[in-house]
């Protein structure tokens, strides 16, 4: 009997989608390792939400601090790192320090490394193609390509027991996700959606609006508090 | 005219293969951003070698400290992170803390993110299939799959100007690499190969032996010092 069979990594931001993934993983009897990525200050509240959701499910919670990586590699760190040669800064000036290119690729690569470390067989991620039409790394084609890369690029993959990237929400709209979360009794009261990380939520940013519209279409009441409404 | 056309990221460990990649990138007129990954103590000497090689080519040198990431996410950190629930430790006990699963996937994902950040169009990596027959992530099939993943998963990729993963050494043996390095006047005297990070090199570990055999077959003299020899 393989004792690691039910271990799963869930990429958990503390938002509605990733919390629904937690609910699904829990429902499927997975032994959950929740993984939260931190890379800028705004995410402190998100990390708190993620921690609360992980606690709700009795899951272990691990934080990958990419902020430390980016601080060390940031172009702006030239001043404090004598070994870094001068840089003309053309690209740096136009891109905020908190911008993370290839974000989902980076998150999935770390989740994969973590999954191999703890012997997990599955990575849950709440990526969603419908909410993110402009993001290539939220499309099924990307997930398929990442899966293929795992299959040929890891020892487990070449031995036919690859880590699976599982994207249950990828083709669902927000109302579908909220209905699923309700059916699974996901702790949506703990989730954070507001772009500004506010509590009560602002109710006006794009993230809040998308969430509120989803609840309206799903015919459910949003359990979090809003400043307006 | 596109001012970023010649920017390239070179994954530089300070060893012979990655230094040869630096020489190739320099010869091809690339504006080089050397990227070194740190993830355990043994690598301090490697980082020094990498820094020296980057300086030799007047390249900017950036260090990605994955040690900080792994320290933060390590299973052993449960004691200092109250938000981490107890873990049974089955996997943790049998795997050293410095083991990095999916290493090349992680390195390439960070190199890709960095390349997008600085507007580089190419990533040089000295991965080599012949020296690493047991490593799936050193095979051309893996590189092809990673490239495909970039092509469909990044904005630049979907717009037909993907970041290219360039693996000039992937099918070369050590003697071929040493001959190429010599032709390009690569500063092999600055490189570190010894598994134990020693200087003079031990001359006896697998890494030293492979290097010495390569120089012998190439008919060249190794410019570094060995304890024996």
Contacts of A23 (CB under 8 A, 6+ apart): A57, A180, A181, A184, A185, A186
Q: Is B60 at the interface with chain A, CB within 8 A?
A: yes
Q: Is A94 at the interface with chain B, CB within 8 A?
A: no
Q: Is B227 contained in some domain?
A: no
Residue A20 has pLDDT above 90, yes or no: yes
Name the residue facing A136 among B75, B137, B153 (closest C-beta): B153
Count of the separate structural domains present in chain B: 1
Instruction: Characterize the bridge pairing of strands A60-65 and B7-11.
Output: unpaired
Q: Tokens at residue A115, please?
A: 């999954």
Q: Is A133 contained in some domain?
A: yes
Question: Mean pLDDT for chain A?
Answer: 84
CB B87 within 8 A of CB A60: yes
Q: Is A1 contained in some domain?
A: no
pLDDT at A74: 44
Q: Positive or negative CA dihedral for A93, A99, A105, A111?
A: positive
Give A139's contacts in chain B (Cβ within 8 Å): 152-153
pLDDT at A152: 95
pLDDT at A155: 86
- As separate numbers, helices (DSSP H) first and strands (DSSP E) second, chain B gives 9, 5
Q: From the centroid of its chain, how far is CA B99?
A: 16
pLDDT at B45: 85
Q: Tokens at residue A173, please?
A: 């709209």
pLDDT digits over A219-228, tens only? 999 999 999 6
CATH code for position A116: 3.40.50.620
pLDDT at A43: 66
pLDDT at B198: 78
Q: Is A116 at the interface with chain B, CB within 8 A?
A: yes
Q: Could you tell me the pLDDT band of residue A4, with boundaries at 50, 70 and 90?
A: low
Q: Is A32 contained in some domain?
A: yes
Q: What residue numbers bound the domain in which B162 lies? A: 7-218
Q: Could you tell me the pLDDT band of residue A140, with boundaries at 50, 70 and 90?
A: very high
- Polymer length of chain A: 229
- Alpha carbon distances (Å) from A137 to A65, A146, A213, B24, B80: 21, 10, 24, 31, 34
Q: Could you tell me the pLDDT band of residue A121, with boundaries at 50, 70 and 90?
A: very high
Q: Is B225 contained in some domain?
A: no
Q: Does the annotation place B113 within a ligand binding site?
A: no
Backbone dihedral region for residue B102 (phi beyond 0: left; psi -120 to 50: alpha; all else: beta): left
Q: Is A229 contained in some domain?
A: no
Contacts of A134 (CB under 8 A, 6+ apart): none
User: What residues 159-218 of chain B have any CB closer than 8 A to a CB of chain A?
Assistant: none
B36 DSSP assignment: E
pLDDT digits over A26-51, tens only? 999 999 999 999 876 566 788 999 99
Contacts of A207 (CB under 8 A, 6+ apart): A193, A194, A195
Mutate to test the interface with A, among B62, B65, B157, B170 (most CBs of A within 10 A): B62
| Omega within 30 of 0 (cis) for the link into A200 | yes
Contacts of B193 (CB under 8 A, 6+ apart): B15, B16, B201, B207, B208, B210, B211, B224
Q: Is B140 contained in some domain?
A: yes
Q: From the centroid of its chain, how far is CA B87?
A: 32
- CA A94 – CA A100 distance, rounded (Å): 13
HSE, CB side, 13 Å, CA atoms: give it for residue A95.
Answer: 19
**Stretch A171-182: mean pLDDT, rounded?**
97
| Helical ranges in A10-76 per DSSP H | 16-27, 43-56, 66-73
Q: Is A82 at the interface with chain B, CB within 8 A?
A: no
Q: What is the DSSP string of B182-197?
A: HHTT--GGG----TT-
Q: Tokens at residue A120, please?
A: 């997990």
Residue A2 has pLDDT above 60, yes or no: no
Q: Could you tell me the pLDDT band of residue A134, with boundaries at 50, 70 and 90?
A: confident
Q: Which residue has the higher pLDDT, A195 or B176?
A: B176
Q: Is B1 contained in some domain?
A: no
Backbone dihedral region for residue B218 (phi beyond 0: left; psi -120 to 50: alpha; all else: beta): alpha
Q: Identify the top-confidence range among A145-149, A197-201, B94-98, B202-206.
A: A145-149
Which residue from A122, A60, A128, A2 is spatially nearest to B74, judged by alpha carbons?
A60
pLDDT at B43: 66
Residue A95 has pLDDT above 80, yes or no: no
**Stretch A146-151: mean pLDDT, rounded?**
97
pLDDT at A65: 83
Name the residue facing B116 among A69, A81, A101 (closest C-beta): A101
Q: Could you tell me the pLDDT band of residue A85, with boundaries at 50, 70 and 90?
A: very low
pLDDT at A67: 73
Block means of pLDDT (10 residues each) for chain B, length 229 residues?
Answer: 73 96 97 90 80 96 80 40 34 44 92 92 94 85 97 90 96 97 98 87 92 97 88
The C-alpha of A62 sits at a distance from chain B's nearest C-alpha, in angstroms, of: 5
3-state class (DSSP) for residue B171: coil
pLDDT digits over A202-220, tens only? 999 988 999 999 999 999 9
- CA B59 – CA A216 distance, rounded (Å): 55
Give A95's contacts in chain B (Cβ within 8 Å): 117
pLDDT digits over B192-206, tens only? 999 888 789 999 998
3-state class (DSSP) for residue B118: helix
pLDDT at A70: 63
pLDDT at A125: 98
Backbone dihedral region for residue B65 (phi beyond 0: left; psi -120 to 50: alpha; all else: beta): beta
pLDDT at B210: 93
Give B101's contacts in chain A (Cβ within 8 Å): 112-113, 115-117, 154
CB B184 within 8 A of CB B20: yes
The C-alpha of A100 sits at a distance from chain B's nearest C-alpha, in angstroms, of: 7
Q: Could you tell me the pLDDT band of residue A171, with boundaries at 50, 70 and 90?
A: very high
């Amino acid at each position: 009997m393989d004792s690691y069979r039910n271990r799963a990594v869930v990429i958990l931001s503390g938002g509605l989608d990733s919390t629904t993934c937690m609910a699904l993983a829990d429902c499927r009897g997975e032994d959950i390792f929740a993984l939260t990525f931190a890379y800028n200050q705004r995410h402190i509240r998100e990390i708190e939400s993620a921690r609360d959701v992980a606690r709700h499910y009795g899951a272990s919670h691990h934080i990958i601090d990419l902020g430390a990586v980016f601080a060390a590699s940031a172009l702006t760190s030239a001043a404090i790192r004598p070994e870094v040669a001068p840089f003309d800064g053309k690209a740096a000036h136009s891109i905020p320090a908190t911008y993370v290119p290839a974000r989902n690729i980076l998150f999935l690569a770390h989740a994969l490394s973590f999954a191999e470390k703890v012997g997990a067989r599955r990575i849950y991620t709440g990526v969603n193609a419908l909410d993110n039409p402009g993001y290539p790394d939220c499309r099924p084609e990307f997930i398929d390509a990442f899966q293929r890369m795992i299959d040929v690029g890891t020892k487990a993959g070449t031995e036919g027991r690859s880590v699976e990237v599982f994207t249950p929400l990828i083709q669902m709209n927000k109302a579908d996700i909220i209905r699923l979360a309700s059916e699974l009794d996901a702790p949506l009261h703990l989730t954070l959606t507001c772009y500004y990380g506010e509590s009560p939520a602002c109710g006006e940013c794009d993230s809040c609006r998308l969430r509120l519209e989803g609840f309206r279409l799903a015919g459910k009441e949003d359990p979090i508090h809003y400043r307006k409404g």
